[in-house]
Structure 1
Amino acid sequence: MIRIAKIAGLAAALGMASQLALAGGASGLWKTIDDETHQAKALVQINEGANGELTGKVIKLYMHPDAVCDKCDGANKGKPVNGMQILWGLKKDGEEWSEGQILDPKSGKIYTSSAKLMEDGKKLRVRGYIGPFFRSQVWERQQ
């Protein structure tokens, strides 16, 4: 009887821990992985504003730390990618965030974006859309 109670208590604790990770939302530091090389590409700091919208800024580049956004338009043209906001306007929609924008500094293109926590908040699936077509990346939580 005591053994069953211990197992039930452990299961409840694990369940609460996973819910706490999801309740913490997507705010935090995320490592992005390059689609082609599968190597760590950047660290992105994601913040959730008072209105619940997510924004994300590159805080470290692994492969090309001095990269600039040559193909970007407007204010980002020729600016360092390190320190650049690449994610904005994602609104909470049930289990995910949607209707945001994401900038691909490599191409300079801005895509419609969505994000969803996976694996108890340890990973974040980020998608960029053009019409019915999309590209997904899975980012790994760092803190």
Structure 2
Amino acid sequence: MRIKSFITLLALPMLAAAFIASAQNASPVGRWKTYDEDTGKPRLIVEVYEAKGGTYAAKVIDTLFAPNAVCTDCKGDKKGKPIKGMVIMWSQKPVGDGSFEGGTILKLSNGKEYKSKARLLPGNKFEVSGCLGPICKHQTWTREN
């Protein structure tokens, strides 16, 4: 009996660490790599963070295609501004089971904003969708940290 108790005590820290890692990955908060929809090459590093009212947003931390890129096709106050540091997704509300809805996403290649939804996928992936009516385009981001 003593050996079983000892083994159980040794296993508890490992189980706790696995639980904590799993809980951390149940949140979209963190750094994600995005990919070009045409070439599949890495394009941006974005940071998803908790914003006002328990919603989630994402801002560009780094541009992998051009270090000083600006949003030439953006409208309003984002036009001509550096992409690095720009918020490109906002107001994503958690709806349970790793899914988020009600947000907006900015497509940098055309400067247009789309209704957005997202969901966490196994393997440290985050599927982000931009929708125009019932038609949605999906992009899968991969977790950096």
What TM-score, normalized by structure 1, do the two folds share? 0.84
Deviations 1:93-138 (A, max 9, x none): 1121101000011100000011111115x11000000001111111
Partner of 1:71: 73
| Residues 3-42 of structure 1 mapped to structure 2, 5 A cutoff | 13=15, 16=19, 19-23=22-26, 25-42=27-44
CA RMSD of aligned residues (A): 2.2
- Residue 50 of structure 1, CA deviation: 5.3
What TM-score, normalized by structure 2, do the two folds share? 0.83
AA aligned opposite 1:43: I
| Residues 78-97 of structure 1 mapped to structure 2, 5 A cutoff | 78-95=80-97, 96-97=99-100
Percent identical pairs in the alignment equals 35
- Residue 21 of structure 1, CA deviation: 3.4
Structure 2 CA distance for partners of 1:16 and 1:55, relative to 1, 3 Å: same
2:128 to 126, 129, 134: 126
Partner of 2:107: 104
- Residue 51 of structure 1, CA deviation: 2.1
If you compute each CA radius of gyration, which structure gives the higher value, 1 or 2?
2
Instruction: Please list every run of 5 or more consecutive structure 2 residues that lacks an aligned counterpart in the other structure.
Output: none
